[in-house]
Amino acid sequence: MIVSASVLTCACGDSDNKGDEPVSPDKPGTPEQTDNLAERNLSRAIEMIDAAVDNYFTGPAMSRYYNPYNGQKSSELGSVWMYTSSIEAVNAAMHSMQALKEKGSSKLYDQNFNRYKELLARLTEGAEYYRGSFTLTSYTGTNTWSPLGVDRGTSPGSANTEGIHNVYDDQMWFIREMIEAYRVSGEKKYLESAEYLTDYVLDGWDCTLDASGKENGGFTWGPGYITKHACSNGPMISPLVWLHEIYKDSPDVITYKIIDKDNKRVEVTRRKADRYLDIAKATYDWQKSHLLDPATGVYSDMMGGDDSNGQIRYEMVDGERYRAHTHLRDRVGEHYTYNSGSTLSGLVDLYRVTGDASYLADIKDLTSKSFSRFATLGQQVPGHYSFDINGFRPWFDGVLMRAYVESYPVCPEAGKCAEAFQDNLDYAWENFQYKHMLPTSLLVGWNRENTRNSTEGMFTFGYAAEYAVLSRYQLQK
């Protein structure tokens, strides 16, 4: 289905094609023998994932780039964020296998689910190369943690995680995928991994109090930073809501520290379900109040502008050293699709569990304004919407697409936005698919110089994940 130009008001933007012309592959894709669009989408996702695992991985190590035209993979390895994209794609495919089976079509499930469950376990084990330990002084105390570092270590548990070498958004995306892995496999080890990293992230919540006695709130980009980013807040909303749902009928409790009106650190114990939902709401409230751009209706990149020259501030309370609040003045930076996308997904989850009408109003508003801001009709191919592909945006755009799919049941307009991504993937598959891979630019194709076709692994896994998520969307329709 081609999305009509009248579906939504679309904002115009500059093309990012760098002058490259479309190139058809030597061996175009063979159409799948099915009339079921949900099955076809999932079949393509599986085909891409299987090839990507072969192309990008050497043992447990994932290369950042692979060029299908010369078969070369880069010596540079992917960061933990890039690596997590492989787990994301496998989870998305497994969920769609289950969904199709529940609808009476079990072929793809029977053929692939068990081997993907084994692949999921191997990928999760491989992520341990990104783990390392360090001691952190936060707003409420000093503790030793073992989070995931940005870069891969030489052995499991050996990664450098000090200071800026780990960031909260990487933990958030991994938490999300560990909860997804738990949901799709039922294996508690994934939930335990998610909760450990959730404890680590929540230790970074700015629970210092303002003059009115309210928490300042927000997560910095990482423990080594003072700026607070949309990318280190929005992605945490959904996982927190999911944890609330997992524990909503459980008496399980969690103990953590807060800061009282006398600036003392005190322990509180609450039901996990209540703690997780409350902090999810608080995260969204902080994100919306600080980073929503009123001029465009989408999310800006970060809060900056401090008086400490970028240095983390500390304070002594009762002889103990704690991180202190840093006042940030300025909402700055670009509008990225995944900042609005991750927040939109969180909104959908908050609305599902609370029924709060204000969340639904925000869902509808962000859906319409984000598509108008980020999609441009007919810029490269008539009847197709173009999205910026500079930098890491091809993966960012997939986050926005998933949010539209998740919004569709309560906001039908979002389905029309999701169709734009379906159209672009299909156009690329039918015109440029080469050795089970799609080019970075879905509407332009491969570069005529074969040596310039090295493709980010996270984009390949990202496009596969999009196809898998769209499989479930087609079932919803």
Q: How far apart are the first and last CA of the chain?
A: 13
Q: What is the percent of the chain with per-residue pLDDT over 90, rounded to a whole number?
A: 91
> In 132-142, which positions are buried (b, 16+ CB within 10 angstroms) versus exposed (e)?
bebebebbbee
pLDDT level of residue 477 (50, 70, 90 thresholds): confident
Rounded CA-CA distance 394/331 in Å is 24
pLDDT level of residue 51 (50, 70, 90 thresholds): very high
Residue 415 has which token pair?
């389905």
pTM for the full predicted model: 0.93
Residue 289 clears pLDDT 70, i.e. is over it: yes
Residue 35 clears pLDDT 80, i.e. is over it: no
Rounded CA-CA distance 83/11 in Å is 33
Return the pLDDT at 24: 41
pLDDT level of residue 34 (50, 70, 90 thresholds): very low
Rounded CA-CA distance 255/235 in Å is 23
117 CB-side CA count, 13 A: 14
Q: What is the percent of the chain with per-residue pLDDT over 70, rounded to a whole number?
A: 93
Return the pLDDT at 309: 86
Nearest to 312 by CA among 135, 136, 148, 147: 136
Residue 10 clears pLDDT 90, i.e. is over it: no
Nearest to 40 by CA among 431, 347, 473: 473
The 10s digit of each residue's pLDDT in 369-423 is 999 999 999 999 999 999 999 999 999 999 999 999 999 999 999 999 999 999 9
Return the pLDDT at 108: 98
Encoded amino acid at 334, one letter: E
Return the pLDDT at 250: 98
Rounded CA-CA distance 98/110 in Å is 10
Burial class (CB in 10 A: 0-12, 13-18, 19+), 118: exposed
Mean pLDDT of 102-115: 97
The average confidence (pLDDT) of the chain is 93
The 10s digit of each residue's pLDDT in 137-185 is 999 999 999 999 999 999 999 999 999 999 999 999 999 999 999 999 9
Return the pLDDT at 25: 44
The 10s digit of each residue's pLDDT in 310-325 is 899 999 999 999 999 9
